[in-house]
Structures are given as structure tokens and as C-alpha cells.
């Protein structure tokens, strides 16, 4: 906190340049005195003020400055003048060819003289020739960040200065005592710098002098808000997304983002010692990768972070940056960073970062991606620690990104945003329930959460936040069409999900076959100790690629697999086929996938897990430790033993499934009748009809299954 009396009483816009950029001005002076041309890249509004400060420093040297802005030539030509650019070219021509001794020529608008899209303009070609014509001339030129000049012109300037914003240690010299009173008693340098770091000193003076409000307010936030609104460039705005209230679920993701980023920023705002602030700023990652499946809210999390720190957001899609013109893609990336730094605090979101930032050497396009990655790396490495600018790259394929981007100091913070779990989906539904006034009953909410565990019908993906939003919007439209004011029930959720789906229309006989098959799976699952509890049975064809399925709940133990659970899985897989064999005149081919899966489990038991018959040695038969993916050469005898062991396991579990089906035939018939009538049986209905072993509830019991090992399919479908 800097006391008010230590701040200047008055400060003009010209004086602010000397106060804000003493080091830059000194470097320009030294270069010019040494005979080196200087190119200054800064905002247009800063150019005349910066030039005046340089000129004042050179007065004692006796060097003459010619300021060529086109006005003198335009005044002489009067109405016949064709334009300001032509006037500047005329002045440049006269100055170059009329100079007989070393002079300092100032070009305040070098970018306007030489900027063009595609090929060079006629004026640009003449300017290039003129600037190389007289070697005795010393140049001081200015260009805006938004424009580029040809490389052949840039080569004329061995000394270059780039001015974006102001340094934090100079801010105390740019605020007057009168302006300080708008922010309370004393100047909170670090808090103010957060909002003005990207603007030049001239603009800062204009903004501060126009501040409204009372002196020494109890709450200085209105003054800071005035500055924040004024420093937003173009159409930028600050998103309003609350990390905890606006995004449902994802508590682990929120906690990590809060601990690693947001709490550090909060701690920085509370510090008053410069050394402590510098230390915290050195710890905050500037580049971040938010990765996960499409639709899980990666961009939404970035916007929530922006809302928390009051930052503007620039969202740009990777493919939008690619251009057919050489160098234009890199220039667009550079301009993005200039805009972000000018509007700081700001977050740049590169959506689909993998579209151009894949590992170098893997490109199949024009090769522009290589240059784009290099430009992105250059911009990331060019940040000042105290600049409140962050870069977030979102991607579905983090493994494909260039390793140079992922090293510490660049995109070092990686945040995984997965498919929403059940608790996450419940909170997401609750948010949209309130937003769209759906009035979902508890039963409907429970059903919606359970129902969205399956894959999205017609798409090979699980439900994401975007899918849930679309479902809730569909419910809202349904209620609006029917002018509903009552609560949303289970039937409404199912109708919104399936009303317009193109499902297979089964005949009565086909429905009977599918129901028999699925009930066979269910009966075996109910009577196998290690099988996961049943969550849902359906013959509606509401799972992509299946006419029917049995959906199981998540087991209590997800990371440990046992021999008993694998054998029970094989038994359950055979249940559908054995039910058809017992109750129907003919067997369908719907068990093909079940048999393939069962065979794979049995082979893994014998060849990988060492759980085969005692006649088989306990070792791995799929690969040697140093052979990689190569399968070891086996003798015919060993192969025969392995095949015999696999066949023995399969046949034993098939007979076991057959025996369970036969012993519980009446339960199977009763369950099939209910399924044919209801089409869907959930865990509650399954418990009500009291099918199966009273000691094993339909859902909620503990199973044993290992993540990464297919013990039982989530849904056994009749193909």
C-alpha cells in the first residue's frame, strides 16, 4: 500500500511517458546516438508522445528530426492530394533525395506505408526502394501491434522496442493523489495493476482522470469496475459463470483448479510485499491444458476461471487460425496475444488445440502447423510473470499434442475433465431443472440419472453435460407445447429421450426371443454370487446396436478381480443362449458376442492369469518378458493342453448356466412375462416381483470386478 502523499500531484500525458518508459527511452536514445535505426512497436495513440520524449532527449546533440506524417505535403497539395499515404510517400521521397548530411527521419506510420494483404502495394514497393536508397539517413519508425511490415523493411532496424502496457514498478508514478482517493486511502499497487497492466501510459492517464465517484469510498470496487470496463478491447466481455453454482458436479476437478490456480491468485491479491507477490506469480502456471471427451465442459471451466478473476475471454478455434497465405496464421496468433495482453486480465482459449499443435513431424497438411506451433511457443515464452494473461488449450486427444508444448513453463497444468459420474449428472440435472423450470420429481430425477448411465442412443459415446442440457431443453419444449404446470415424471423423461428415435420394430415372436435371452442373463446373474447387481433390463432396443440388454450396477470393488467373478461372468454370458435352448424351439444367433466374450475371458484365465486347471503350468502363455507383443512359440502339445483347458472352463460354465436356468425355470417364465408386458424392468420393479435368491437383492449388492478387465459386459445385447 503506497501512501497518498507519495504520489504526484499532477501529471500530463507527455510526462506519463517519461515516467512509464524510462528504460525503453534510454535504449532508443543510446541506439540512435550510436547510429542504429530504431523501430518502436506500440499503440498508435502512444506514438506522438513517445516520439516527443525521444526528441527531447536528443535536443542537446543538435540532430535534426524530420517528422513525416503527410500533413505538410497535404497542405501544399490542397484539394488535389489523393490521400494521406500518398502524401507521406511524397514527403519521404523529398527527404531521402534531398538529404546531403546524416539526418534523423521519423516515420510515425511505417505500418500504413507498407502493410498489405497478399502482394506488396505500389506504395509499399516505392517505400522499400526509398528506405534503402540513402545510407546516410538514420531512421526512427513506429508501427502498431495490429499491423505487420515486410521483412525487408524490418531488416533495416537492428534495434527494436516493443511496448505493451506498463511495468508494475512504474505504476506508482502514474497515479495522482486526486485519482488515488477514488480507490480508498492509499494505493493498492498490486490490485490496480491487475486491471491496467496491458494499457499504455497515455490511455491510463485518460482513464484515471475520468474516474467517477466519491473520495475515500468504503467500497472501492466501483472504481475498479470502471477501469475493467474501459480496458476491454473490442467486443470482449467478462463471462459470468460461477465455478460452484454454475457448473454441476465435478468436485475433484473444481478442487484441483481451486487449489492449484484460484487460491494462488487470491493469495497474491492479499499480499502487500512485492517479494511475496513476485514469488507467488512465479508459481502460477500460465499455460493450461483442459482435456477430456467432447461436451464435458472444458471451455465452461475456463470461463468459470475467468469469471473468478474478472478476466476477459478470447475463444478461438484451431482451424480458424489456419490461412493459405504464408505467415498469416502465425500473425493471427501473435495478434491474439497482443489483444489479450492489452485487455489483461485475459484468458485465451484455444479450442481444438490438437488441430494444429500435434507433435511436430506427424503433420500431413501444408506444414503451416509447424510454424504455428513455433509461434505459439514464442508467445508463451514471452510473458512477463506479472502479466495476468493465461492460455488454455482444450483437446480431446492430449496424447497427440507436441511434447514441447507440455513441458514446464508452457502448458504445464493439465486438467482432466471426464464423463460425468452419477453424482455429477444429478447436480447437472438439478441446475437445468431450475433453469428451465422443469419441476422434476425425485423419482424422475433418479430415473434420469440412472438412464443417462447408458450410451447415447445413435452415438458411440456416454452422456456428457451437453447431452444432459439437450435432454432438459427437450423436456422444456415438451412442457411448453402441452402447457404443463405439473411436475415432470419418469414417463416424461423417457418420452423426451426416445419419442423420435428410429428403433427396430420387433414382431411378437422376435420380442419373445429377445426377452427370453435377456431374462436368461438376468436369472444367472441373480444366482451367481460374484455377478454385479442388476440395474435395468430392456427389450426396447434403446442401446445402440442391441435389441435388448441387461444393465448392471457398478460393483463395490472396482479394482480387484478374482477367479470367482470371472467364472460367474462366463456363466452369465451363457445364460441367454441356454434360456433360448430350454424355452424356445430354435436358438437365435444373438449369443454370438456373448460366446466371443466368454471365450476371451476363459483364454485369459488360462494363458494370462494362471487360473487354469492344475495340469497347466502357472506362467504366461501370451508373451515372454522381453518379447514385447510377440506371442511365444509353443509346441503342439502345449497348444492342445491350453485349448483343452479353455474348452473345459467354457463347457463347465455352460452346463452351470443350463442347470441354473432349469432349476429356476418358473422364475424365468415369470420374469419374461413381466418384461414382455413392461418392456423395461428397473431394479425397483425387479425387487418388487421378488424374483431370485432372497439373499441377493437385484441391485446394490457387492460384486468383484477389475477395472480394465472385461469380467461381465455392461449390456449383453441381442444383435
Could you list the active site residues? Answer: 518
Cell numbers of 427, please?
Answer: 447436480
Alpha-carbon span 683 to 697, nearest angstrom: 9
Alpha-carbon span 392 to 379, nearest angstrom: 13
Alpha-carbon span 313 to 176, nearest angstrom: 31
- Ramachandran area for residue 483 (φ above 0: left; ψ -120 to 50: alpha; else beta): left
Relative orientation angle of helices 563-583 and 636-663, to the nearest 10 degrees: 60
Alpha-carbon span 534 to 552, nearest angstrom: 4
Q: Which residues are CB-neighbours of 518 under 8 A, at least 6 positions away? A: 537, 538, 539, 548, 549, 550, 576, 675, 716, 718
Looking only at Cα atoms, what is the longest distance across the chain? 113
Alpha-carbon span 610 to 616, nearest angstrom: 8
Instruction: Put the strands of the sheet holding 159-162 in their side by side order.
Output: 65-67, 104-107, 138-143, 38-41, 159-162
For 40-62, letters b (16+ CB in 10 Å) and e give bbbbbebbbbbbebbeebbeeee
Q: Which residues are CB-neighbours of 702 under 8 A, at least 6 positions away? A: 555, 556, 557
Q: 549-552 and 534-538 as β-strands: parallel, antiparallel, unpaired?
A: antiparallel
Rg over alpha carbons for the chain, rounded to the nearest Å, is 36
Q: Report phi then psi at 241, rounded to 5.
A: -130, 115
Q: Report phi then psi at 165, rounded to 5.
A: 70, -155
Q: 138-143 and 312-317 as β-strands: parallel, antiparallel, unpaired?
A: unpaired
Q: Report phi then psi at 325, rounded to 5.
A: -85, 135
Q: Of how many residues is the chain composed?
A: 719
Q: 680-682 and 534-538 as β-strands: parallel, antiparallel, unpaired?
A: antiparallel
Instruction: Put the strands of the sheet holding 680-682 in their side by side order.
Output: 549-552, 534-538, 680-682
| Distance from the Cα of residue 325 to its chain's centroid | 28
For 176-197, letters b (16+ CB in 10 Å) and e give beebbbbbbeebbbbbbbbbbb
| Distance from the Cα of residue 340 to its chain's centroid | 17
Q: Establish whether the linkage from the previous residue to 345 is cis, with ω within 30° of 0.
A: yes
Question: Which helix H or strand E contains 39, and what residues bound it?
Answer: strand 38-41
- Cβ atoms 621, 574 nearer than 8 A: no
Q: What residues pair up with 551 in beta bridges, in sequence order?
A: 536, 715
Relative orientation angle of helices 422-435 and 465-481, to the nearest 10 degrees: 40
| Distance from the Cα of residue 270 to its chain's centroid | 29
Q: 3-state secondary structure string, 132-172?
A: HHCCCCEEEEEECCCCCCCHHHHCCCCEEEECCCCCHHHHH
Instruction: For residue 244, count other CB atoms closer than 10 A to its CB.
Output: 11
Q: Report phi then psi at 390, rounded to 5.
A: -125, 150
Amino acid at each position: 500500500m503506497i501512501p497518498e502523499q507519495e504520489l504526484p500531484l499532477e501529471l500530463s500525458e507527455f510526462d506519463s511517458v517519461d515516467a512509464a518508459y524510462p528504460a525503453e527511452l534510454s535504449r532508443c536514445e543510446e541506439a540512435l546516438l550510436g547510429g542504429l535505426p530504431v523501430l518502436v512497436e506500440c499503440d498508435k495513440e502512444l506514438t506522438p508522445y513517445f516520439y516527443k520524449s525521444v526528441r527531447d532527449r536528443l535536443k542537446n546533440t543538435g540532430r535534426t528530426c524530420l517528422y513525416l506524417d503527410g500533413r505538410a505535403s497535404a497542405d501544399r497539395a490542397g484539394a488535389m492530394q489523393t490521400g494521406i499515404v500518398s502524401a507521406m510517400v511524397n514527403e519521404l521521397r523529398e527527404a531521402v533525395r534531398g538529404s546531403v548530411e546524416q539526418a534523423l527521419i521519423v516515420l510515425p506510420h511505417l505500418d500504413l506505408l507498407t502493410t498489405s494483404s497478399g502482394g506488396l502495394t505500389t506504395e509499399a514497393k516505392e517505400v522499400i526502394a526509398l528506405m534503402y536508397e540513402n545510407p546516410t539517413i538514420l531512421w526512427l519508425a513506429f508501427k502498431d501491434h495490429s499491423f505487420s511490415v515486410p521483412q525487408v523493411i524490418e531488416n533495416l532496424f537492428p534495434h527494436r522496442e516493443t511496448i505493451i502496457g506498463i511495468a508494475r514498478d512504474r505504476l506508482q508514478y502514474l497515479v495522482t493523489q486526486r485519482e488515488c482517493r477514488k480507490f480508498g486511502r492509499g494505493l493498492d499497487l498490486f490490485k490496480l495493476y491487475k486491471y491496467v497492466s496491458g494499457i499504455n501510459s497515455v490511455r491510463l492517464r485518460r482513464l484515471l482522470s475520468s474516474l467517477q465517484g466519491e473520495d475515500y469510498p468504503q467500497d472501492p470496487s466501483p472504481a475498479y469496475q470502471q477501469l475493467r470496463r474501459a480496458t476491454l478491447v473490442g467486443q470482449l466481455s467478462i463471462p459470468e459463470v460461477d465455478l460452484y453454482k454454475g457448473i454441476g458436479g465435478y468436485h475433484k476437478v473444481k478442487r484441483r483448479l481451486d487449489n492449484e490456480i484460484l487460491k494462488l491468485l487470491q493469495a497474491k491479491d492479499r499480499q502487500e510485499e512485492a517479494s511475496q507477490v513476485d514469488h507467488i506469480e512465479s508459481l502460477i502456471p500460465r499455460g493450461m491444458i483442459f482435456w477430456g471427451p467432447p461436451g464435458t465442459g472444458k471451455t465452461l471451466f475456463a470461463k468459470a476461471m475467468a469469471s473468478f478473476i474478472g478476466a476477459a475471454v478470447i475463444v478461438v478455434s484451431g482451424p480458424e487460425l489456419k490461412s493459405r497465405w504464408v505467415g498469416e496464421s502465425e500473425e493471427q496468433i501473435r495478434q491474439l496475444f497482443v489483444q489479450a495482453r492489452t485487455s489483461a486480465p485475459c484468458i485465451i482459449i484455444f479450442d481444438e488445440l490438437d488441430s494444429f499443435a500435434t507433435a511436430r513431424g506427424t503433420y500431413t497438411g501444408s506444414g503451416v502447423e509447424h510454424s504455428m506451433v513455433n509461434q505459439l511457443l514464442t508467445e508463451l515464452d514471452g510473458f512477463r510473470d506479472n502479466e495476468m494473461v493465461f492460455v488454455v488449450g482444450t483437446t480431446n486427444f492430449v496424447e497427440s499434442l507436441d511434447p514441447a508444448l507440455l513441458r514446464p513453463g508452457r502448458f504445464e497444468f493439465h486438467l482432466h475433465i471426464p464423463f460425468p459420474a452419477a453424482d455429477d449428472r444429478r447436480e447437472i440435472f438439478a441446475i437445468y431443472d431450475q433453469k428451465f423450470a422443469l419441476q422434476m420429481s425425485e423419482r424422475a430425477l433418479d430415473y434420469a440419472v440412472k438412464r443417462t448411465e447408458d450410451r447415447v442412443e445413435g452415438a458411440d459415446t456416454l452422456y456428457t453435460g451437453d447431452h444432459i442440457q439437450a435432454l432438459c431443453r427437450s423436456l422444456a419444449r415438451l412442457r411448453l407445447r402441452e402447457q404443463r404446470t405439473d411436475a415432470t415424471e419418469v414417463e416424461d423423461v423417457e418420452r423426451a429421450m426416445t419419442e423420435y428415435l428410429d428403433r427396430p420394430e420387433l414382431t411378437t415372436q422376435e420380442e419373445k426371443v429377445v426377452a427370453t435371452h435377456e431374462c436368461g442373463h438376468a436369472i444367472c446373474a441373480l444366482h451367481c454370487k460374484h455377478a454385479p447387481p442388476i440395474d435395468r433390463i430392456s427389450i426396447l432396443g434403446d442401446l445402440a446396436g442391441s435389441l435388448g440388454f441387461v444393465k448392471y450396477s457398478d460393483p463395490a470393488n472396482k479394482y480387484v478381480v478374482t477367479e470367482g467373478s470371472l467364472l460367474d461372468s462366463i456363466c452369465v454370458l451363457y445364460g441367454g443362449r441356454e434360456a433360448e435352448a430350454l424355452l424356445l424351439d430354435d436358438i437365435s444367433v444373438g449369443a454370438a458376442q456373448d460366446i466371443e466374450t466368454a471365450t476371451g475371458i476363459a483364454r485369459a484365465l488360462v494363458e494370462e492369469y494362471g487360473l487354469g486347471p492344475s495340469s497347466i503350468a502357472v506362467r504366461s502363455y501370451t508373451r515372454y518378458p522381453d518379447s514385447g507383443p510377440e506371442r511365444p512359440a509353443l509346441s503342439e502339445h502345449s497348444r492342445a493342453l491350453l485349448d483343452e483347458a479353455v474348452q473345459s472352463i467354457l463347457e463347465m460354465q455352460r452346463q452351470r448356466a443350463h442347470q441354473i436356468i432349469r432349476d429356476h425355470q418358473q422364475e424365468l417364465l415369470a420374469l419374461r412375462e413381466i418384461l414382455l408386458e413392461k418392456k423395461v424392468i428397473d431394479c425397483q420393479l425387479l425387487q418388487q416381483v421378488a424374483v431370485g435368491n432372497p439373499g441377493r437383492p437385484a441391485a446394490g449388492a457387492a460384486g468383484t470386478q477389475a477395472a480394465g478387465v472385461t469380467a461381465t459386459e455392461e449390456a449383453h445385447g441381442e444383435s
